[in-house]
Amino acid sequence: MTDTHAPHDAAEFAPHQHAGGPGVEPLSEERHPTHHSDHDPAHHNSPEEVKKEVRKYLIVFGCLALLTAITVWIASFHLPTWQAVTLALVVATFKGFLVAAFFMHLISERKLIYAVLVMTVFFFGMMIWGPWHHHYDAEEEWPGYDKAHNAAAAAPASSHESGH
């Protein structure tokens, strides 16, 4: 018979505890290390560390605001479209890096995260480049590639002449 009035530790009811093993949190840092204590909240919650983090985020915010102002400034030059788009994409790349590195915390991730990110960017680039390359190179690759479409577009709309 069990004593129902005795206080019980909450971990006592976990299934892995009944085998007599040590009381270990299933998802603890010891069993499943994630960042090797580089982002452990217990180590970085002093007022000085919090001020450093807030300062870092404010600097990143200032850089993003400056890059946004640069994008608007570039638009005032009335450059040819390809130059304006190229400059805007360069600025947007820097802004994307800042957001991903600091706000998404990718700057402190492991190599696997970077490998997945690089593969994603590569395949995204292929998805953009593939159709563009196919469209502009198709006439050279396949003579007469678009002649049916061009002929249909150039022909005047004919009325249905039934002869009645």
- List CB contacts of 98: < 8 A, sequence separation 6 or more: 60, 63, 64, 67
Q: Residue type at 33? A: P
Is 17 a member of any domain?
no
> What is the CA angle 48-51-55, rounded to 5?
140
Compute CA 122 distance to the chain's CA centroid, rounded to the nearest angstrom: 13
d(CA 54, CA 60): 10
The pLDDT tens digits for 22-73 are 565 656 656 555 555 555 555 668 888 889 989 999 999 999 999 999 999 9
* Co-location of 54 and 84 in the same domain: yes
Is there a single domain that holds both residue 44 and residue 86? yes
Joined together, the tokens standing for residue 54 give: 């807030």
Q: Is residue 145 part of a domain?
A: no
Q: Is residue 11 part of a domain?
A: no
The answer as to whether 80 is a domain residue is yes
Q: Do residues 74 and 133 both lie within one domain?
A: no
Q: Specify whether 59 is located in the same domain as 95.
A: yes
Determine, yes or no, domain membership for 58.
Answer: yes
Distance CA 6, CA 64 (A): 59
Note the pLDDT of residue 19.
57
Asked whether residue 99 is assigned to any structural domain, the reply reads yes
Domain-ending residue, one of 62, 85, 108: 108
What share of the chain has pLDDT > 90, as a percent? 27
Sequence-ordered list of residues with C-beta below 8 angstroms from that of 139, at least 6 positions apart, any chain: 145, 146
Q: Express each pLDDT in 125-142 by its tens digit.
A: 888 887 766 666 666 777
Does the residue 86 lie in any domain?
yes
The stretch 7-11 carries a mean pLDDT of 53
Q: What is the pTM of this model?
A: 0.47
Alpha carbons within 13 A on the beta-carbon side of 43: 6
Same-domain pairing of 57 and 81? yes
Provide the domain count of the chain. Answer: 2
Question: Are residues 95 and 51 part of one domain?
Answer: yes
Q: What is the DSSP string of 66-90?
A: HHHHHHHHHHTT---HHHHHHHHHH
156 pLDDT above the threshold of 70: no
What is the tens place of the pLDDT at every residue in 74-118? 989 989 988 988 999 999 999 999 998 888 887 877 788 878 888
**Domain limits at 59?**
38-108
Give CA–CA dist 56/38, Å, rounded: 16
> Is residue 160 included in any domain, yes or no?
no
Same domain membership, residue 70 and residue 52: yes
* Residue 105 confidence (pLDDT): 82
Nearest to 25 by CA among 43, 47, 10, 46: 10
Give the CB-side neighbour count of residue 116, counting CA atoms within 13 A. 6
53/103 same-domain check:
yes
